[in-house]
Amino acid sequence: MLSKSKLFLRGIADVLPHMLSVIPFGIITGAIGVEFGFDPLLVYATSLIIFGGASQIVFIQLLSGGASSLVAITSVGVINSRHFLYGAVLTEYLEKLSLIKKLVISYLITDQTFAVSSKYFKEHKINNHSHYHLIGAGVILWTTWQVTTIIGIFLGSVVPDEWGLKFAIPLTFLAIIINEFRKLDHV
């Protein structure tokens, strides 16, 4: 049985391959907000509050297009409704935790952290500290997302379109499911 710190580090190690797509996605998200004319602090605030690339981009695009705050917030809610499914899958692994721990962990759950941690939970015997894997994956992804969003806010307008960073958005989701294509019945 792994210790808390080893589970935390294992979560970091398991999510690191996903950073290849998360880093450009974060830069794009920061750059798009500034391109649409929003204050850099507001763009960064969406990164802290929403902490989800697709949701942040939709939120900013809707507001820049003149949509009401209610429409923008509702759209973010619809996009993020998949997190209810993530929660349902993870319940059996997190059921013994306090409400505070569950709330903190729920903030850290993204597509990538869910993918790597749910796989880890299925493959390894559950222990009282398994959630540290999810926390490790979530903390490193959150930190990377915040840093890259800031980079995008300040440097995004100088990144040439020829670099093709906008491809990072679908690449992020492809990176999550590509491992499943190794099984013929999943293809």
Residue 148 tokens read as 């890259």
Report the distance separating Cα 46 and Cα 54, nearest Å.
11
Q: Looking at the whole model, is its pTM more than 0.75?
A: yes
* pLDDT given at position 100: 93
Buried b (16+ CB within 10 A) or exposed e, 66-101: ebeeeebeebbeebeeebeebeeebeebbeeeeeee
What's the mean pLDDT in 71-95? 88
Report the distance separating Cα 153 and Cα 33, nearest Å.
7
- Tens of pLDDT, residue by residue over 118-145, are 999 988 877 778 899 999 999 999 999 9
How would residue 45 be classed by pLDDT, with cut points 50, 70 and 90? very high
Phi, psi for residue 137 in degrees, rounded to 5:
-65, -40
Q: Give the whole-number percent of the chain exceeding pLDDT 90.
A: 38
Report the distance separating Cα 124 and Cα 128, nearest Å.
12
